Amino acid sequence: MDATPGGESPTRPGEIVFGLVNATDLVKRLLVGRKLASAQLGETLLPKRIALPVFASDALSSVAYAPDEILLTLSLAGMAGFVFSPWIALAVAVVMLLVVLSYRQTVHAYPSGGGDYEVATVNLGPSAGLVVASALLVDYVLTVAVSVSSGVQNAKAMFPFLEGREGMVAAIVIVLLMTMNLRGVRESGSFFAIPTYGFMIGVLGMTAWGLFRFFGLGEHLSAPTAEYEVVGTITDFSGLAVVFLLARAFSSGCAALTGVEAISNGVPAFREPKSKNAATTLALLGGIAITMLGGIVALANLTGLKLIDETGGSHFAKDGVRVDLAHDTVMGQLARTIFDTFPVGFYFVIAMTMIILFLAANTAFNGFPVLGSILAKDGFLPKALHTRGDRLAYSNGILALATAAIALVLIYNASVTSLIQLYVVGVFVSFTVSQFGMMRHWTRHLKTEKDPKVRAHMIRSRMINAVGLTGTGLVLIIVLASKFIYGAYLAVLAMAAVFLLMRSIRRHYDKVAREVAVGPVDARMLPSRVRAVIMVQEVNKPTVRAVNFARATRASSIEAIMVAVDEAETRAIAAQWEAQELDVPLKVIASPYREVTGPFLNYIKGIRSDNPRDVVCVYIPEYVVGHWWEQILHNQTGFIVKTRLSFMQGVMVTSVPWQLASSKYAIDRVKRNTAAAWRRPGTGQVRMGDPRETSRTE
């Protein structure tokens, strides 16, 4: 007859410890699948063919909206602005190449999965690491919001009824993505691989077929918006106006680089050799993304495609007359133009674009939880983010990311143009600080390395990171200068808030650690006196068990306390107590306002002494029930008293359970389910002596 503090069910050594099977658990199993043991972690590691869609879908899919943002910004200068779109795309491609080359050095030097955070912390100090972490956490949330919102905007090409419902649809998509990711990295990656490769085939195929029709067949293809002119709000497109607008267009186009850093954070999820496979995946990402971006911008210029930023004031015109024209995204217009004689191609490209933009958020769903786990391990985020769930995914991190992203898409109604202004800042903060950290890394190692070949490799790597630092640093300055007043300041404020929050959490954990640290005397100091108090509400078997248990502990003093809320009932209980001859005095406390909790707590406060070695141990009889609705009918007073007593110094609470018949039926059901699970392979069961007694590994 063991009692467990806090009201937990009692167990014998080796006994099965399970929560009762209930409807919630069944729904969870249906949604996220069976539990996986820690030993099965190796089964979730990713080959390169799966790692590419898992970690690179964000950067690959950004080519579906980065050209839109470039053209929308350039439209503010009217027709003169569109001339610069190929050069903006080329500049973005150069920066992407620099970033990919730089991160290939990172995955080899820091394969543990800390990525930019680890690089900055090790080489520049904890504060720099927190700056990077804050930027990445905010950017991951924005990645989900922007990707899903862009997917909804593209979906309107096929589903016009989505107009006006973008925010709610985006929130539903995020919930679905969250559910898929809760199933685990490997399983979600396999699911996401097909549409990711489908998107690559669609875009590259559309580019190849479009270029062939132009240069091979000599056809002249015109986008739906080609016949219209664009009138912008910038009438004097010269001098500083040119520089500022091109800088803003370039910073918007740099959204194509988001997600590159996720591979450096996800190295532990790759199969061996982890660093080599991650570096290869980075190279594939860079090559494919640059090719796709260049192809889309080239086709947009060849077909005369145009976009307008209605919020910025630009508009279409024909023969000098303003035209109010609803137009699709770049991908929508290009697919309609290139596949004008092949509708299947149009629907395939739009469908793959819509899906990949939704699934691009998967990059953040893999990066955010891993980074959150590392930060939690270091004490900068709640400990709950550190541990894996029963599907070996960082479930709490996934839930936190989804919640924040849903809030954003609802606030901005899934408007990509509005969200994009907050975007990119965080990722280039992390890029820049990380590249500086990598330069410090190589410089530090060069001081001790003597091997000429190794030194030559380090010098070459440091040069790559130096070029990367220069490029990303310039981009960061451009982004901040061109986007700050348009919404980037909100992202900066969010990063500052996250930074301060993480510092506060670390201070709290450090303070708690100092408070609970065991001193040289603590380990040997026993209580000088233990006063046992039994809470009595009825005279029944649970109460008698609590009395007997308290007597068995040989406390310094034992007394039973009952709060009188009804005079007749109190006299009846006192008579029953005397009749049972329990050899423990029953003390009755008056309660003129018929309250149980307050008088009982006041009595406990009154018997506590100032001696820190004195202990008051309160025994509370409880029913162990087998159905959720029975819990509502029992134990409510005991639960409230336990909760309040937990805040009193020098007081311990012992729950003395009594299993009702319904609990035995529930335990029998659990045993039957356990036996069935034992016979099925791969259920994550661990032998603990007798095969009939198992422990499930979370």
CA-nearest of 60, 424, 101 to 247 is 424
pLDDT at 524: 60
> What does the DSSP assignment read for 202-239?
HHHHHHHHHHIIIIIS------TTTTSEEE-S-S--ST
Assign residue 130 a region (left: φ > 0; alpha: ψ between -120 and 50; beta: otherwise): alpha
Share above pLDDT 90 across residues of the chain, in percent, rounded to a whole number: 14
Same domain flag for 336 and 379: yes
Would 325 be classed as within a structural domain? yes
Question: Does residue 31 lie within any of the structural domains?
Answer: no
Do 379 and 303 share a domain, yes or no? yes
Contacts of 553 (CB under 8 A, 6+ apart): 530, 532, 617
Tokens of 541: 């078997």
479 and 591 in a single domain? The answer is no
More confident of the two residues 44 and 274: 274
Same domain, 536 and 505: no
Q: Is 2 left (phi over 0), alpha (psi -120 to 50) or beta?
A: beta
Query: Is the separation of the CB atoms in 38 and 302 below 8 Å?
Result: no
CATH number for 578: 3.40.50.620
The better pLDDT of the pair 273, 621 is held by: 621
Q: Are strands 529-535 and 614-624 parallel, antiparallel or unpaired?
A: parallel
Average pLDDT of the chain to the nearest whole number: 79
**Is the same domain home to 560 and 448?**
no
Same domain flag for 545 and 601: yes
Judged against a pLDDT cut of 80, whether residue 669 lies above it is answered with: no
The continuous run of DSSP H or E covering 516 comes out as helix 488-516
**316: domain range?**
47-509
Same domain, 460 and 393: yes
pLDDT of residue 686: 42
In a domain, 19, yes or no: no
If one counts the domains in the chain, the total is 2
Dihedral angle of Cα 19, 22, 25, 31, to the nearest 10 degrees: 170
Domain membership of residue 24 (yes or no) is: no
- Least confident range from 187-191, 193-197, 332-336, 476-480: namely 187-191
Domain with residue 228: its CATH number is 1.20.1740.10
Tens digit of pLDDT for each residue in 356-377?
877 777 777 877 887 888 888 8
Together in a domain, 369 and 469: yes
What pLDDT was estimated at residue 260?
75
In the listed set 480, 509, 538, which residue is the last one of a domain according to the structure?
509
Do 396 and 473 fall into the same domain? yes
On whether residue 39 sits in a domain, the answer given is no
291 and 421 share one domain: yes
Which of 21-25, 198-202, 584-588, 636-640 bottoms out in mean pLDDT, i.e. has the lowest? 21-25
Do residues 439 and 555 share a domain?
A: no
Coil, helix or strand for 610? coil
Q: Which residue has the higher pLDDT, 36 or 647?
A: 647
**Does residue 120 fall inside a structural domain?**
yes
286 and 432 part of one domain: yes
Answer whether the bond into residue 273 is a cis peptide, omega within 30°.
yes
| Mean pLDDT of the 35-39 span | 43
Q: Is 646 within the bounds of a domain?
A: yes
Give domain status of residue 474, yes or no: yes
